[in-house]
Chains A and B, each alone.
Chain A
Amino acid sequence: MAHQAHAYHMVDPSPWPLTGAIAALLMTSGLAIWFHSNSTVLMTIGLILLLLTMIQWWRDIIREGTFQGHHTPPVQKGLRYGMILFITSEVFFFLGFFWAFYHSSLAPTPELGGCWPPSGVITLDPFEVPLLNTAVLLASGVTVTWAHHSIMEGERKQAIHSLTLTILLGFYFTFLQAMEYYEAPFTIADGVYGSTFFVATGFHGLHVIIGSTFLAVCLIRQIQYHFTSEHHFGFEAAAWYWHFVDVVWLFLYVSIYWWGS
């Protein structure tokens, strides 16, 4: 290998951007084909290709960072900026759903009965399962901080235990939300209340599942000694993401569950 006189990461040529792009093509075209000719073959191929791309691309990033040492301090700084920009874009994604919710609820149209919740809609009690969910997510925020401090202080066992606890709390939240969805006395098709409720909380639930997966990958990497007390950005990115999901829930709880009921 030629001598490198700078701290930046010169990446190897990679097939994953191409396979990822084709996966997106297959999934979107597959969706159209599904609607058009009731066949999910193309969409399934696209999904499998997307999963293969994600697994191998992120596997390569672990190789580059942990095994080849390409994630030098300036490279880590770039990763930090990347994650910050990504989470910022996610904030604006959720802002759109909150906008839709407040647009519909602050000045309810006559068709809704001029009131919010719309007349005829029976809402969920915010002081039952949603309050428990709030407590569960706040507790998981505590355990993820415990995990971070354990990693920073080289407490391997505690880091594994607290990270496991965080993931379990994440799964418990998802389980409780699934129960709530099953029990909900309204549907996504019940006008603007159901639409805004299920789209906002549904995308939040999706983000909880993604965050739990991200933390689970971190747990596996922690067990395999990938994180040192100084260098563990993969975990920090997961923790940032988890806190973001937590904060979005607080807004959802206060706006849609509590004020909105």
Chain B
Amino acid sequence: MYYKFSGITQKLAGSSSSTAYAPQGLRPVVPAESSTMIFATPTKVVSEAGPVVEYLGANKVPDFQRIFQTSDNIPVHLKRGVPDRLLYRTTMALTVGGALYCLVALYIAAQPRNK
């Protein structure tokens, strides 16, 4: 009868002669020092990271957050200043002009063609 140490029950259990000479529950050599850690992916610890190489430009979101979070009671669609106002006024001009033109065009289209 041969025995081996069972890693699950933590007791000796019966086994065949070959497994008894290569026991699974006991490790033959226990390393005295822990092996060096190998990480699956390059780690990104913020404090250790050097100057980051930006892919396709730098992050400007914090700057925009500063611009758009200033409390000046300007509505969000005009907050950027001149370019916003220009675009807004163009749109509004088209809205008013277009609506008037639309009314005229529909009025003309509604007139019966005599002759």
Contacts and interface: CB of A to CB of B under 8 A. Distances in A.
A37 B57 CA distance: 51
A164 to B, nearest CB: 11
Contacts of B65: 66-69
Majority secondary structure, B binding face: helix
Given A29-B106, A223-B56, A223-B57, A53 B98 contact: no
Contacts of A179: none
A68 B77 contact: no
B87 A52 contact: yes
A37 B110 CA distance: 11
A160 B55 contact: yes
A30 B102 CA distance: 8
B92 interface: yes
> Which size bracket describes the interface of A in this complex?
35 or more
A45 B97 CA distance: 10
A48 to B, nearest CB: 7
A56 interface: yes
Contact of A42 (B68, B91, B95, B101): B101
Given A22-B95, A22-B99, A52 B90 contact: yes
Interface in B60-98: 60-61, 64-65, 67-69, 71, 73, 75-77, 79, 87-88, 90-92, 94-95, 97-98
A1 interface: yes
A128 interface: no
A230 interface: no
Contacts of A1: 71, 73
B69 A25 contact: no
Contact of B105 (A33, A53, A56): A33
A42 B77 contact: no
B16 interface: no
Interface stretch (A9-17, A80-88, A197-205, A245-253): A9-17
A23 B94 CA distance: 9
A63 B57 contact: no
Interface in A1-53: 1, 12-16, 18-19, 22-23, 25-26, 29-30, 32-33, 36-37, 41-42, 45-46, 48-49, 52-53
Contacts, number: 99
A16 B2 CA distance: 85
Contact of A36 (B59, B61, B109): B109
A236 interface: no
B99 A26 contact: yes
B95 A18 contact: yes
A15 B84 CA distance: 13
Contacts of A19: 91-92, 94-95
**5 tightest CB-CB pairs across the interface, nearest first?**
A67-B68, A12-B75, A225-B59, A1-B71, A52-B91
Given A69-B69, A160-B56, A225-B60, 17 more contacts: A15-B88, A19-B91, A22-B95, A26-B99, A29-B105, A33-B106, A41-B101, A45-B94, A45-B98, A52-B87, A53-B91, A56-B87, A56-B88, A63-B64, A67-B68, A69-B65, A225-B59
Interface of B: 44, 55-57, 59-61, 64-65, 67-69, 71, 73, 75-77, 79, 87-88, 90-92, 94-95, 97-99, 101-102, 105-106, 109
Interface of A: 1, 12-16, 18-19, 22-23, 25-26, 29-30, 32-33, 36-37, 41-42, 45-46, 48-49, 52-53, 56, 60, 63-64, 66-69, 154, 156-157, 160, 223-226
